[in-house]
Structure 1
């Protein structure tokens, strides 16, 4: 315990309890020109109300063993942000299930998985958490860096939800790693957490988007499969460097430069009046970090 020193001058983690309001008639294919991509994101959204409560429970338990005041503060911020995330994803997922009731079966499988995981050692769970959070750094760089390709012309509410989520993943990117290293450390456990956590969330997401594509009649289309394979390859191409660099000795998430768009988004949010939802303008191909409301 105490093998990892926590930087004492980290920015505060801002908890934004944003009540995204989704139109009940929202089209699950929220990007009409990219139905496969729409469902890939939908599948990821489906995991959040199971993954993120698991992460919150894990770090809350670990918090009991932490004396470092900066790390305690960061963990509380982490829990606040993750709690806001999964509640908003749950609202959206309930709308998805109106069109795809079979998603309830996918949710049941995830619920069973995380019930089992919650019984494993705290070290195992923290390694999973740190591994998953490392993978999201690559995902954030991809989604924000390629936002024009991935979100231009798409539904503004879904786009705003996803990119807000990615901004806050960037803001708390150090926390799970710091907590794992502070309490346990260990190189190979960290590697296992990265591999297993990333694979498990990806596999769970895949079950969701397969179910939706099957109902839409797209799963057996070779064009649809090719589109999916290309998107997965793009994610691996952009996300793998983040995972690989985390395995280099001396790595710390804080050494990774954040996309400028993240701080631009946070600055724009500060100027919003209370209660306003930060809706991005997807009609602008650049999707600038300013809000249309």
Structure 2
């Protein structure tokens, strides 16, 4: 029986990227659609606090790591996640300027993280981090493997999300390796963490989207209709942002699963090569989309 193929990429921290995010970004920057814009806004709102949580969970085991290669991977993972947090903090400041109750929304996210840290062991929090990293790496495929998903996005927002997606694919296995090799987390704890994380991300994304739309002036019945109308956009089995990823999500439940079992998206190298040549995340995003499936 042939050996399984392992897919891994070099983790490259790219720092101080300028996406040109300012007040000229449209309020509804995703196809002019209030729901789609606010749904992605809701998901990304959690990134700064989420990235700090991930770093904390991995660092809890850093002193036990003796493998030099894994030490370097953890260092570069931390640097990438730190940059993601700073970029999304800047965007969250723009959301606050639009009149959204950003601090109150962040309190909801911080309360969830604080609860995790209070009631779960360091091993289970690390397992939650590994689950989240698998999920965010999948989102790279959901949004950037094909052109149609990001059509109508503001180009500056799209460039920021593309950069984040590329780096999530690069460090997709770091938390998992620390969890498995250092924290010695077993199969049942690993899959239980994925169930908990999936429940949390679905619940909080809907809740915060709803609160954002309420702040935008949408009534209760209007918000309910928007949620219903967009169910297939999110959960549709073939074209839904999350629904189309069900096979990759279920792969996590295989006993011998490793993140490197799954390759990065086919157009990953187009982004990396263009960024290395130009230093421009905007041009790199254009190259990524030019190589995407039609």
TM range (shorter): 0.7 to 0.9
Tell me the distance in 2 between the aligned counterparts of 1:150 and 1:197: 24
Hey, what does 2:203 align to over in structure 1? 203
Partner of 1:270: 276
Give the distance between the partners of 1:199 and 1:140, measured in 2 at CA: 20
Q: Distance in 1 between matches of 2:243 and 2:189?
A: 24
| CA distance 1:202–1:101, change in 2 (3 Å) | same
Preserved CA contact (<8 Å) 1:43 1:209 = yes
Deviation track 1:164-190 (CA, whole Å, cap 9, x = no partner) reads 111111111111111110121311110
What is the aligned partner in structure 2 of residue 42 from structure 1?
A: 41
Q: What TM-score comes out, normalization by structure 1 length?
A: 0.86
Task: Report SS of the residue matched to 1:271.
Answer: helix
CA contact (8 A) 1:127 1:190 kept: yes
**Counterpart position of 1:241:** 247
Tell me the CA shift for residue 9 of structure 1.
Answer: 10
- Per-residue CA deviation, residues 179-222 of structure 1 (Å, 9 max, x unaligned), is 11012131111011111123223322222211222233446336
Hey, what does 2:264 align to over in structure 1?
Answer: 258
Greater mean alpha carbon deviation, residues 215-224 or residues 235-244: 215-224
* Aligned position for 1:15: 13
Q: In the alignment, what sits opposite 2:80?
A: 81
Partner of 1:287: 289
Q: Residue 242 of structure 2: SS of its match in structure 1? A: helix
TM-score for the superposition, normalised by structure 2: 0.86
> Does the residue aligned with 2:185 lie in a helix, a strand or coil?
coil
Contact 1:47 1:201 in 2 (8 A): no
- How far has the Cα of 1:101 moved from its partner? 3.1
Give 5+ residue unaligned stretches, structure 1: 1-6
1:263 alignment partner, SS class:
helix
Q: CA RMSD in A?
A: 2.5
Q: Matched residues in 2 for 1:203 and 1:220: separation? A: 19
Partners of 2:37 and 2:152 lie apart in 1 by 12
Q: Contact between 1:97 and 1:103, CA under 8 Å: does it hold in 2? A: yes
Task: Classify 1:281/1:270 alpha carbon distance in 2 versus 1 (closer, same or farther; 3 Å).
Answer: closer
- Shift of the 20–62 alpha-carbon distance from structure 1 to 2, 3 Å rule, reads farther
Q: Which moved more, 1:113-122 or 1:184-193?
A: 113-122
Equivalences for 1:1-293 in 2 at 5 Å?
11-17=9-15, 18-119=17-118, 120-146=120-146, 148-183=147-182, 184-218=184-218, 220-221=221-222, 223-233=225-235, 234-273=240-279, 276-278=280-282, 287-288=289-290
- Structure 2, gaps ≥5 residues long: none
Structure 1 distance, partners of 2:263, 2:208, is: 32
Residue 4 of structure 1 is matched in structure 2 by none
Count, aligned residues: 279
For structure 1, which segment, 34-43 or 80-89, has the greater mean C-alpha deviation from structure 2 after superposition?
A: 34-43
- More divergent stretch after superposition (203-212 vs 81-90): 203-212
The CA deviation at 1:55 is: 0.3
2:7, 2:259 → 1: CA distance?
14
Q: Sort the Cα spacing of 1:189 and 1:144 in 2 relative to 1 into closer, same or farther, 3 A.
A: same
Structure 1 residues 77 and 110: CA distance shift in structure 2, 3 A: same
Q: Please say if residues 265 and 289 of structure 1, whose CA atoms lie closer than 8 Å, have aligned partners that are also in contact.
A: no
